[in-house]
Amino acid sequence: MEKLNKAKDWIQKSWNQGITFAKQNKGKTTAVAVVASLFITGTALANHYYNANSTTLYHVYLNGQEIGTVDNPNRVYGFIQKEIDEQTHDTVKPKLKSEIQFKEETSLKEEPKTEETMKILQNKIELKVAAQSIQINGKVVGYVSNQQEMNSILDEIKKKYGPLPLPTDKSKTVTAASAPDSTVTVQFKEEVQTKAEEVSPKKVLTGDQLKTLIEKGTLQQLVHTVKEGDCLGCIAQQYGISKKDIIRNNPEITEDTLLQLGQTLNVTAAKPLLTVKTIEKKQQDIVLDYAIEVKTNDTMYRGDSKVIQPGKEGLKKVTYQIVKENGVETEKKVINEQILEEPVSKIIEKGTKVKPDRGSGSFSWPTYGGSITSGYGARWGRTHKGLDISGVSNRTIKAADNGRVVSAGWKGNYGNCVIVDHGNGYRTLYGHMSSISVSAGDVVEQGEKLGIMGSTGDSTGVHLHFEILKNGANKNPMSFFRG
């Protein structure tokens, strides 16, 4: 500026001197020529000085508003292209949405402020890319490059809990048969909307990133470094999560894994942004137990029973509605029942007749036929206290009169032996059985089975040793048989 002012002063002084010279040499051609020469020379010098000391700069306008000056528009164009290249990946190619204009100026007064202008441009320039947004309950969660990628992400999230064919519109419910006896409705519990938008490339996530964000609620992984005294339970408590969360985040460990000092664990608390709600209608055949009806029969002894109608199980088809949220069952209820086959009751008759435990005093033959092989009385120098009976058609041994069994088991020389007290001073004894069919305390009726004839104890062959005692004294059985 100082040089420019000196140039102007010199031109003005030369002009003034030329005018004075002309006046002093009025009418002389030479004077005029001198003045003209001086003027031309000064003008040329001024132009040269101006050109040598002036600067060309460009005013930069962003969306109609000046943001600064640069020395060359190519600086701006190069910067914009670099930003576009750096933010281009896969199918994402940003476009410049800001309007850039330049106004050229040559100035002796001003230098271009290129670096300052580029910093302003970096903060204010607007690059946009076509993307697909997802809104959950009206709030934008994130962006991916296109609708197809968004559909794929939502498909994967749904299929994790319901392996079903899904519709194109992921905000809608889908119902499909997953099995012949089951239908499943899969939907998001939250309101989900997708929308085509133009956003900054920096906001666009990869498919994996958006899926992680939706499933975990965050892209930031929280890491814990194991220190002395740590355990899974106390680490979980420290971060407000469960041991299952830690195991799920770190597949290489189990509840029994011994933690190592310095070991790092992912302790991120998963808080899904979307809840996959499955409503399953499931049919199941249920076997119906039959009822048991008991009828009394006063002609049958108490303790005896017989089935007069066998039971038969029924069948019904039950339809359940099972609701799950992210795989966890929250509700199960019956919504329909259909009887396919009614059950048939089992009918049992039970006797009410009481067996008298007191005998009549009249005894019946204790076997099916047979003959006496050794009678009551003296035998081999001693008294034979009863009868030996063999040669029977059926080895079943029967009670000779009503009574109560007071002994049933091994009895020395008698082998397997049963003693019946007839409640009237009489008792009967049955020895050498191969097997016993009653127990002490049982009430038996005359003719009822007590066991099977055998040769146990002090016996020389298969037979029944039978005694009758009155008030503890043996009697000859032959004196008591009726008929």
- Residue-wise pLDDT tens digits, 382-398: 889 999 999 999 999 99
Q: Are residues 112 and 173 in the same domain?
A: no
Residue for token pair 């070991």: 263
Q: Up-side HSE of residue 201: CA atoms within 13 Å toward CB?
A: 20
Q: Which domain holds residue 389?
A: 367-479
Q: Are 411 and 432 within 8 A, CB to CB?
A: no
Number of domains in the chain: 6
Q: How many whole angstroms separate alpha carbon 129 and alpha carbon 181? A: 48
Residue 362 within any structural domain of the chain: no
Residue 23 within any structural domain of the chain: yes
Domain end (from 11, 38, 53) = 53
Q: Are residues 386 and 454 in the same domain?
A: yes
**Least confident range of 12-16, 131-135, 355-359, 412-416:** 12-16
Task: Kindly report the average pLDDT of the chain as a whole number.
Answer: 84
pLDDT at 25: 54
**Least confident range of 12-16, 123-127, 183-187:** 12-16
Distances in Å between the alpha carbon of 397 and those of 323, 407, 449?
68, 15, 6
For 39, the enclosing helix (H) or strand (E) is: helix 29-53
Q: Are residues 383 and 449 in the same domain?
A: yes
- Residue-wise pLDDT tens digits, 203-214: 889 889 899 888
Q: Are residues 73 and 142 in the same domain?
A: no
Q: Are residues 87 and 165 in the same domain?
A: no
Q: Are residues 49 and 61 in the same domain?
A: no
Residue 359 within any structural domain of the chain: no
Q: Are residues 385 and 471 in the same domain?
A: yes
Closest CA to 319 of 289, 275, 364, 285: 285
Q: Are residues 393 and 469 in the same domain?
A: yes
pLDDT at 305: 93
Q: How many whole angstroms separate alpha carbon 129 and alpha carbon 45? A: 55
Q: Are residues 185 and 258 in the same domain?
A: no
State the CB neighbour count (10 A cutoff) for residue 41.
Answer: 12
pLDDT at 240: 82
pLDDT band per the 50, 70, 90 thresholds, residue 99: confident
Q: Are residues 117 and 194 in the same domain?
A: no
Own/partner long-range contacts of 259-263 (Cβ < 8 Å, ≥24 apart):
259/226, 259/230, 259/231, 259/232, 260/226, 261/226, 261/227, 261/228, 262/225, 262/226, 263/225, 263/226
pLDDT at 51: 55
- Residue-wise pLDDT tens digits, 41-51: 444 554 555 55
CATH number for the domain that contains residue 416: 2.70.70.10
Residue for token pair 């302790």: 267
- Name residues whose C-beta falls within 8 Å of residue 4's C-beta, 6 or more positions apart in sequence: 49, 50, 53, 108
Q: How many whole angstroms separate alpha carbon 228 and alpha carbon 224? A: 13
pLDDT at 48: 52
Residue 361 within any structural domain of the chain: no
pLDDT at residue 35 greater than cutoff 50 = no
- Residue-wise pLDDT tens digits, 60-80: 898 889 988 988 889 888 888
Q: How many whole angstroms separate alpha carbon 100 and alpha carbon 87? A: 19
CATH number for the domain that contains residue 305: 2.20.230.10
Residue for token pair 């991916």: 144
Q: Are 211 and 153 within 8 A, CB to CB?
A: yes
- Residue-wise pLDDT tens digits, 291-350: 999 999 998 888 889 999 999 999 999 999 999 988 888 999 999 999 999 999 999 999
Residue 271 within any structural domain of the chain: no
Residue 204 within any structural domain of the chain: yes
Residue 360 within any structural domain of the chain: no
For 43, the enclosing helix (H) or strand (E) is: helix 29-53
Q: Are residues 375 and 451 in the same domain?
A: yes
Residue 398 within any structural domain of the chain: yes
pLDDT at 450: 98
pLDDT at 84: 82
Q: How many whole angstroms separate alpha carbon 392 and alpha carbon 346? A: 40
pLDDT at residue 435 greater than cutoff 80 = yes
Domain end (from 95, 125, 155) = 125
> Euclidean distance between the first and final Cα of the chain, in Å?
164
DSSP string, 184-204: EEEEESS-EEEEEEEE-GGGB
Cα 43 to chain centroid, rounded: 92
Winning range, highest mean pLDDT, from 67-81, 160-174, 446-460: 446-460
Winning range, highest mean pLDDT, from 111-125, 177-191, 417-431: 417-431
pLDDT at 20: 58
Domain end (from 208, 239, 266) = 266
pLDDT at 160: 85
Helices (H) and strands (E) in the chain, counts: 8, 30
pLDDT at 29: 45
Q: Are residues 321 and 335 in the same domain?
A: yes
